[in-house]
Structure 1
C-alpha cells in the first residue's frame, strides 16, 4: 500500500488533537477505529496508524489491545512539573544533551522541568542526590528523572534511599542511562538509555575486523552497571566472533596512571583497547602517548559516547555515538506513559548506537562497517 504524503498524516494528527482539546472527545471516550478514520480522511491505514501512534507518544490517547484507542484521562493531558535528579549534570556531557532532548520533545510544551544543583565533588554526590530528592518531594513534583550516583563507595545505599523516599511520596521514577541494581539484575523502575551490551559488542567486533588480536577493556572501579553490561558485550563479541582466538583482559583502574597502564602493557601486550567511555579513552590516549606508544600503529583505541571533544583528541577517537537527544525525548514519553498507566510492568527502553570511525582505531574514517559506521566528523 502506498504511504500518503507526510502532510496528510499531520492533518489527521492535528484534527484529532483539536477534537480532543475542544472536548468533542472526552477523557476515557473511545475514538473512531482506524478503519473509520481511513474512510473519513481518505488516507492509508499506515498513515492513520502513524498519526495515532504519535498521539499516543504525546500522551493524548491510550491504545488498548482488543478494545481500541481511547482519550487519555485528564491526568495525562494536564501540565506536569518534573524534577531532574542528576548529580553529574554539568559534569558529564551526555546528560546535558539528554535534558535538551526532553525540552525539545513535542510533549514538552505542556510540562516543566526543574533543574537541581549538581555536586562539585565526587564525595558530595550522595548528599546532593538525597537533598535534591527531598526538595523535589516538598515541591510535589509529578515525577523524577533519576541518574543514579556512581563511583562513590556508598552509592548503592544512597541510590536506594532516594527511590525509597520517592516511593513513599508516591512520585514515579524514570531512570536515565543506568539501573540501580548490579548488572544483569534490574530494578522495579522504568529505564531509558542505550543498549550497552550490544554497543560494546559492536565496538569490539569493529576492533577485531580492523585486525586487533589482543584487546583490553579498561574502566574505572565502582562504575555504574552500564559498564558491567559493556564488559559483558565485550566478552561476548570475542567469544562469539572469534571462538576464543582473540586474547582479552578486563582492567579496572585509573587510565591516567602511567604505572597502571605500563603494568597492563607488560602483562597482556594489548594491541587494542575498548574503553568504558570517551573520558576514559581520552585519559588512556594521553598516557599511552606520554610513554612513547603510537596510536593506532602500536595500539588501537575505541571509546563509547561520542562526546564533543572526541574528534579533537591528539588522535581523533573512534567511538560509538549515543543518541542523547532521542534518549531525552523517549524518557519524557515513558514518564507520561507511566503516569497514565501506573500498573504497567517496569520497562527497559534501550536505544542503539552508531559507530563513528576516526583515526584511533587504524581504519580509514570513511570505512563502513556493515552499514553501521559513518565518517568521522
Structure 2
C-alpha cells in the first residue's frame, strides 16, 4: 500500500510520510503491520527515517532492484526466524532490493498458501521459505507451495529446513546448520560428562531438522560404544507432565537431549514440577540458543545457531540463484557452537566450544 503510493507519485521524493498512528487510522491496519511496512520501505531504500522529524520519501526504487518475499509460517513461534530475517535485512546486499511480507487469514496451512499466491501474483523475484512443521498436513502443503512457485518461475531459498522429508531433497538451495552434527555435539558432550542413559525428545510432526538431530544423537552414542535403545527416543508434548512422568518411569534417563530449546524449556518446567532436579537428577541440553535460554530456571546448555549469518548467507544464495538459474542445488551449512551452561551439570565456568 505504501510502496504503491510512492511509485504512483502520491508521495514524491522529499515528502514526509504520515506518522505510523495516522497510517493505522488511514489503512485500518495494526500498528505492528504498519511498522513492518515502513521498515520494509527503509530496507528497500525508498524512505529514510530522520530522528525527531519523521519518515521521508527518498524516491522510487531503481528498476533493476529486486523484491523478495518472506514465507515463514512459524514466525513468532520459532525464535530463530526473527534474527534470520534481521540478518537478511541488514546485509549490505539488501540495500538495493526490497524484502516484502504477505499476510493471509485462516489456519497455518491456509495462511502459507495465501501468502504464496500473493507472491506469485505480485511476481516477486524470489521467496525465502521456511517450510511448515508441527501439522499433519505439513509435507503436502510444503510440496504444494514449492510446486506453485516453481511453476511460476520464482526461485526459492529454503531457510533452516528442507521442504520434503528425508531422503527426498528437492532442487532448492537450503541455508542453515548441519543439524546432524548439532545432535552429535550435544549428545557427545553429555557422554563426556558421564551420562549413560540419554533420552532424545522432540515434538510430533516436527521439521526434518529434528530427524537429522536425532540421527546425530544416535551416531554419537554409537561412536562412544553406548547402546542406542529405540525406547529412549520420544516424540511427545513436553508440556504434558503425565507424558514426561511416563518417560522417566519407563526409561530412567540420566540425561535428555531436547530437539530444540523450545522443547528443552518446557521439559525443564515439567521436570521441576515433578520434583526432578536439573542437572542433579537429569542433565538437559537443547539446540538453537534462543535469547531466553540463559534465563530459564536452570540456564540451558545448547548448540548455538548463527542466525544472522544464516540470513546474510541466504540473501547471497538468492542473488546467486537469480543471476544463474543453472547453478547446482546447494546446501549451505554454517558452523554453530556448543554453549555450556548449568543445565548439563558441567563444572562451573564451562566455556563455549566453537564448532569445528
TM class by shorter chain equals 0.7 to 0.9
* Aligned pair partner of 2:96 in 76, 96, 110: 110
* Pairs aligned (count): 292
Conserved? CA contact 1:197–1:231, under 8 Å: yes
Deviation at 1:245, TM superposition (A): 5.1
Supply the distance in 2 between the matched residues of 1:351 and 1:281 (Cα, whole angstroms): 23
The aligned residue for residue 5 of structure 2 is: none
Conserved? CA contact 2:132–2:138, under 8 Å: yes
Q: Give 1:271-310 correspondences, 5 Å limit.
A: 271-310=254-293
Deviation at 1:252, TM superposition (A): 0.6
Supply the distance in 2 between the matched residues of 1:118 and 1:220 (Cα, whole angstroms): 26
The aligned residue for residue 354 of structure 2 is: 372
Conserved? CA contact 2:254–2:282, under 8 Å: yes
The aligned residue for residue 193 of structure 1 is: 176
Structure 2 unaligned segments of length 5 or more: list them. Answer: 1-62
Supply the distance in 2 between the matched residues of 1:239 and 1:100 (Cα, whole angstroms): 38
The aligned residue for residue 43 of structure 1 is: none
Moved over 6 A (4+): none
Query: Which shifted more, 144-153 or 245-254?
Result: 245-254
Query: Which shifted more, 196-205 or 183-192?
Result: 183-192
Conserved? CA contact 1:316–1:359, under 8 Å: yes
Conserved? CA contact 2:302–2:338, under 8 Å: yes
Q: Give 1:75-224 correspondences, 5 Å limit.
A: 78-117=64-103, 124-224=107-207
Deviation at 1:299, TM superposition (A): 0.2
Matched, 1:252 2:232: no
The aligned residue for residue 244 of structure 2 is: 261
Conserved? CA contact 1:89–1:118, under 8 Å: no
Conserved? CA contact 1:83–1:115, under 8 Å: yes
Which secondary structure state, in structure 2, belongs to the residue aligned with residue 174 of structure 1? strand
Supply the distance in 2 between the matched residues of 1:116 and 1:300 (Cα, whole angstroms): 42
Supply the distance in 2 between the matched residues of 1:173 and 1:277 (Cα, whole angstroms): 25
Q: Give 1:326-365 correspondences, 5 Å limit.
A: 326-365=309-348
Deviation at 1:364, TM superposition (A): 2.9
Conserved? CA contact 2:103–2:114, under 8 Å: no
Conserved? CA contact 1:357–1:365, under 8 Å: no
Deviation at 1:368, TM superposition (A): 4.3
Structure 1 unaligned segments of length 5 or more: list them. Answer: 1-76
